[in-house]
Amino acid sequence: MSLQVIGDPVLHSKSPVIHGAMLGLLGLDIDYTAHVVRRGELPQYLAWARENGVIGFNATMPHKEDLLPLLDKIDPAAEIVGAVNTVCLRDGKWVGFNTDGAGAVAALKDGLSVDPAGLTVTLLGAGGAAKAVALALSQAGAERVFVCNRTLARAQELCAHDPLGRLAPAGFDPDTLCRMAGQSRLLVNCTNLGMEGCPHQFDDFSFLDALPPDAGVFDLIYHPAETELLSQARRRGLKTLNGLPMLVWQAVLALEHFLNRPLDRGEMAGAATAAIAEH
């Protein structure tokens, strides 16, 4: 029996370290490895995995959306998001889940002591990660989530998927960002601005000045550990959190799906975080 994370590229992934620590703590003799699967190779991979004792896998770029038509069953929450990051073999059938959004909410509660319930949130970006996080914030009771994106049509399309109607599309120009941030207690960056290797950066950070002094800033990026956004937020005295806790918490939730049973989530997250620090 084995577990994997698939993607392209994927060999840099911290998932083997995280899951290895959790599986070790549980005393389970299950390997977790990274496996390069290129776009277009998913049907061959699924057949190979079934024949070679793979009981589940995590999926990263570019497979989260491409997997949907290939699976036997999709969890309703993942269906709304339109992407999966966790796939389990259950009774011979491939079943897909998405733990990204729930992982983000758990990270906020654990790492920033922020409960989204009742909050107004400014969320930057409208890609796959943004969609998962925005919908999870809505499900967690956020009063309003402003989805800010350079292409307004993409933000409108994302917001249309929220059955609760708590998402509102907005632009990405400085005036709009300042106006949205001024109404928000939490700002979440789901873009790749500031990511290592990304040539682009925020045009300016004036929107951070509009946030109330007790606001939190959550950047899904974890490489580098402190993006310029988080550095600028910290200098203004705002609470900050990078994407590493989200990576840990989505893995904890994924492992519950793999093993098909509840775990001591705090204990699992602690073991995973310690393993990353040592690695």
Nearest alpha carbon to residue 217 among 200, 234, 195, 205 = 234
CA angle 32, 36, 40 (to 5 degrees): 130
Q: Yes or no: say if 147 and 158 are a contact pair by the CB < 8 Å rule.
A: yes
64 is a catalytic site residue? yes
Strand extents, DSSP E, 114-163:
120-124, 144-148
Residue 148 — φ and ψ, nearest 5°?
Answer: -100, 125
In the set 64, 73, 93, 131, the catalytic residue is 64
Alpha carbon of 44 to those of 70, 102, 205, 214, 248: distances in Å? 11, 30, 46, 50, 29
For the annotated catalytic residues, the residue numbers are 64
